[in-house]
Structure 1
Amino acid sequence: MIYAAYQSLDDIIAPFRTAALSALAFSPRQSGPFAQANLRNAAIMEMMSRFQLSHERPSFGIHTVRVQNRDVPVTEEVVLDMPFGKLLRFRRDIEAEQPKVLVTAPLSGHFATLLAGTVRTLLRDHDVYITDWKNARDVPRGAGMFGVEDYIAYIIRFMEEIGPGGHILAVCQPCVQALAAVAVMSEERNPATPRSMTLMAGPVDVRESPTKVNELANEKPLSWFRSNVISTVPLRYPGGGRRVYPGFVQLTAFMSMNMERHQSQHRKLYDHLARGEDKEAARIKDFYDEYFAVLDLTEEFYIETIDRVFQKAELATGDLTYRGRKVDPSKILRTALLTVEGGRDDICGIGQTTAAHELCSNLRPHLKRHHLQANVGHYGVFNGRRWDNEIYPVVRNTILAME
């Protein structure tokens, strides 16, 4: 019902967006006595035309990167294409070999492009790959199911494709799966076991400093989530009939936590457009073009994440299994561990990621490091000025030390 209602509403609004775009195309912006009125009208039309969500992955927009004092071309290359995700490489036009890093992106309602800033910074000194997750509504039902253990399997397969000597960096939600994957690979003595593992603002143990997000995940039984937020993909899409947690539901939840800020930003956007301040308006539009690009999750992945990560904290309690076998982080002996947390993170509380150090009990002290970044929230841990200038150097040095 949720998806059908959303789709019906979007179908009703679509002609109005089209009309606004048409009017905008012919809206005069010349100087003269009516210039200000024309700008205001154009601003109204543009705001109306933007009243929509996208369900397709935006571009990462990374075409060049500064490497050793020169601008180097960057091209996106699909290294491995699997039913629910691709291994994407950002190939740089340089001959020198640099550390290979797999960035594991969250599967939580947005595309991997949310980490474009993270990737752009890493590309200065690394050969970067990323988990490019597909929108579940576009994956045919014949592809089967995709749950938490499948995510772990994908990480292992991607690391094997990258080959020996790689590193892994997990952002937010997949810190649990990344740690589990490294534990499994270490126990099996997989040649592609990462040399270092960076876990950034992830819910390794949600019992530490619970946040509003943790409380919301625990205040309802799983049956409530199945009944109220899981819906069926309309038949018009390739994944028609698949049960999913819709990305637009997750976006609504995210926005409700900071609704005043989002309203304020859209008022600023209108004001910039109405004054002809295109550069200032573009910054806000670029952010929301990414933020409003939503991705559906399979029912099983969403429900298992609520159950196994947020309600039972299975990794922290030692109860997490992978393919019928207990996941044991104490088997990690040679992979350096770096954990990063934000002092003002209201999504993942302080101590939730650091818990990985206790779990990796047989890892020698010189292979462990923790970085607490003061005065940054969740997003600031992996994007923005402090990520670039203060957190990234710690990540880079950890990786370099294991080369």
Structure 2
Amino acid sequence: MFYQLYELNHAALQPARAFADAMHALYSNPLNPFSGTVWGRSVTATAELFERSTRHYGKPEFGLHTTKVDWATVDVAERVVWSRPFCRLLNFHRDLPAGRRPDPKLLIVAPMSGHYATLLRGTVETMLPHADVYITDWTDARMVPASDGCFDFDDYVDYVIDMLNTLGPDTHVMAVCQPSVPVLVAAAVMEQRGDPLAPASMTLMGGPIDTRRSPTAVNVLAEEKGLEWFRDNAIMEVPWPAPGFGRKVYPGFLQLSGFMSMNLDRHMIAHKDFFMHLVKDDGDSAEKHRDFYDEYLAVMDLTAEFYLQTVDSVFISHSLPKGEMRHRGKLVDTGAIRNVALFTVEGENDDISGLGQTQAAHDLCVNLPDSRRAHYMQPRVGHYGVFNGSRFRAEIAPRIMDFIASNRQDAAAAKPRLVRSRPS
């Protein structure tokens, strides 16, 4: 019922949003003598702030049309290479010269935690010059008809395995935050099966492998409330007339509310500053605010079964670090990982996945040789900085590519290492 009320409130505000749009158009029109005054800009700023605070933010576009490879600008075409009801696999195909040695295939597994895969736009953009990049484009659960069935944690693992089999040998996988657990499980399952298409390496970044280490507010909340609380308070049915009408989901707006409340003061200050930038006619600063919040406020629903299984197994039961994780009823043996190289990355100030939670993957891969594993902690970055921003581009990404180059299965095709990682 709460989901329906949320949609009803949004619909009820439509006339007010239309009025705000009209006022914005009127007072920003250069033919209006008040448009260049402080009062006129205050009116347009108020109207825009109201409209942006009450709108539904649609799925953003990646918008990556070019990249630089070998110091030359090349065209990039986004294409779908694999598709299932709950996910598409996108490839950013680069128009490279014929005969050029192939770059490693990099599968970026985006988090299914409320935001769209475009949250990793900066990650993709950074890796494009050095790799043939693929990314999981998860589907908003409210857009998937109930007739397409459920999607749970086991399905997530199967999707990752199927994608790796589709991409073929010498594929390297990067898991950002939440998918670190299912990616590690997928690698273990593939090694248990003796699958020759298991990834050559996996990079786990800011992921909740063992949330008993340096627990954050997210971890504490899960343990304090228990699974039944989440089932009773966080699960709702998709309202009509969405395509997924009747499907039980964890709504994206609830996840967004949680994210916002963790740093509410920062968001309030950011919106106050946005208002002042508009009044002062500081267009560049205002545009940066728009770009960030157009992405941040665009959220998607998760299927109830996947969300509840993740809360239970990762944050409450700690199934993976305890050796109790199961996939399709079979116990997952992380000790079977002997060939998939492992690189873990953490941020010093991460308030979502605390220090040590991702590094715990090394303790689980007991039979992986030391020569095929590495860990890096990036100083002075939070959760977002682990996979985006200036320090990611300058410090983390080169280390990832260095690790991938060191662990390519086709050594003859491997390029020289791009950057030597400094001891951490």
**Post-superposition offset of 1:53:** 4.6
Q: Determine helix, strand or coil for the equivalent of 1:339.
A: strand
Post-superposition Cα deviations, 1:132-183, rounded to whole Å, max 9, x if no partner, equal 0000000000111111111101100111111111000000011000000011
The equivalent residue for 1:359 is 364
Q: Report the Cα offset of residue 34 of structure 1.
A: 6.2
In structure 2, how many angstroms separate the alpha carbons of the residues matched to 1:275 and 1:86?
Answer: 43
In 2, Cα distance between the equivalents of 1:34 and 1:20? Answer: 15
Q: Which amino acid aligns with 2:220?
A: E
The answer to whether the 8 Å contact 2:26/2:32 transfers is no
1:395 aligns with 2:400: yes
Pairing 1:12–2:12 present: yes
Amino acid at match of 1:25: A
Unaligned runs of 5+ in 1: none
More moved, 275-284 vs 357-366: 275-284
- Of the three residues 307, 330, 334, the one matched with 1:302 is 307
Mapped to 2, the partners of 1:336 and 1:196 lie a distance apart of: 4
Query: Match of 1:87, SS?
Result: strand
- CA shift at 1:33, angstroms? 7.0
Alignment partner of 1:35 is 2:40:
no
Aligned counterparts of 1:8 and 1:40: Cα–Cα separation in 2 = 29
Letter in 2 for 1:35: G
Distance in 2 between the 1:26 and 1:162 partners?
53
Determine if the alignment matches structure 1 residue 110 to structure 2 residue 115. yes
Shift of 1:52: 3.0
1:221 to 2:226 alignment: yes
Determine the structure 1 residue equivalent to 2:268.
Answer: 263
CA contact (8 A) 1:55 1:295 kept: no
Partners of 1:33 and 1:82 lie apart in 2 by 53
Q: How far does the alpha carbon of each residue in 1:24-83 deviate from its partner, in whole angstroms, 9 at most, with x for none?
A: 223234696762222221111111221235363210121111211122111110111101
The aligned residue for residue 326 of structure 1 is 331
Worse-matched range after superposition: 94-103 or 348-357:
94-103
For 1:111-143, what per-residue CA distance to the aligned partner results, in whole angstroms no more than 9, with x for missing partners? Answer: 011111111101110000011000000000011
Corresponding residue number in structure 2 for 1:24: 24
Spell out the pairing of 1:127-276 with structure 2 (5 A cutoff).
127-276=132-281
Give distance in 2, aligned partners of 1:377 and 1:124.
25
Superposition pairs of residues 70-149 of structure 1, within 5 angstroms: 70-95=72-97, 96=100, 97-149=102-154
Residue 335 of structure 1, CA deviation: 1.1
Question: Counterpart amino acid of 2:258?
Answer: A
Q: Give TM-score scaled by structure 1 length.
A: 0.97
- Report what 1:279 is aligned to: 284
The secondary structure found in structure 1 opposite 2:151 is coil
1:64 maps to what in 2?
A: 66
Separation (CA, whole Å) in 1 of partners of 2:392 and 2:260: 23
CA shift, 1:357, in A, is 0.5
**Deviation readout 1:253-294 (Å, 9 max, x if unpaired):** 000000000001111111111122212101000100001101
Tell me if structure 2 keeps the 8 A contact 1:55–1:135: no
Checking the alignment, whether the CA contact within 8 Å between 2:23 and 2:43 is kept in structure 1 is no
The one-letter code matched in structure 2 to 1:40 is: S
Q: 1:34 to 1:11 in 2, by over 3 A?
A: closer
Segment of structure 1 superposing worse, 33-42 or 393-402:
33-42
Counterpart residue number, 1:385:
390
Gaps of 5+ in 2: 409-424
- 3-state secondary structure, aligned to 2:320: helix
Distance 1:387 1:219, change over 3 A: same
Q: Counterparts of 1:252 and 1:245 in 2: how far apart (Å)? A: 12
2:374 pairs with 1:372: no
SS state at 1:315 partner: coil
SS in 1 for 2:53: coil
Task: Give the 3-state SS of the residue equivalent to 1:42 in structure 2.
Answer: helix
* 8 Å contact kept, 2:157–2:186: yes
Contact 1:342 1:373 in 2 (8 A): yes
Q: Deviations over 1:291-341 (max 9, x none)?
A: 110100011011111101100111111111111111111111111100001
Contact 2:215 2:354 (8 Å CA) reproduced = yes
Q: How many pairs does the alignment contain?
A: 403
CA–CA separation in structure 2 for the residues paired with 1:34 and 1:153: 56
Distance 1:158 1:56, change over 3 A: farther
Measure the CA separation in 2 of the matches of 1:114 and 1:29.
Answer: 35
Q: Distance in 2 between matches of 1:52 and 1:326?
A: 46
Output the amino acid matched with 2:18: T
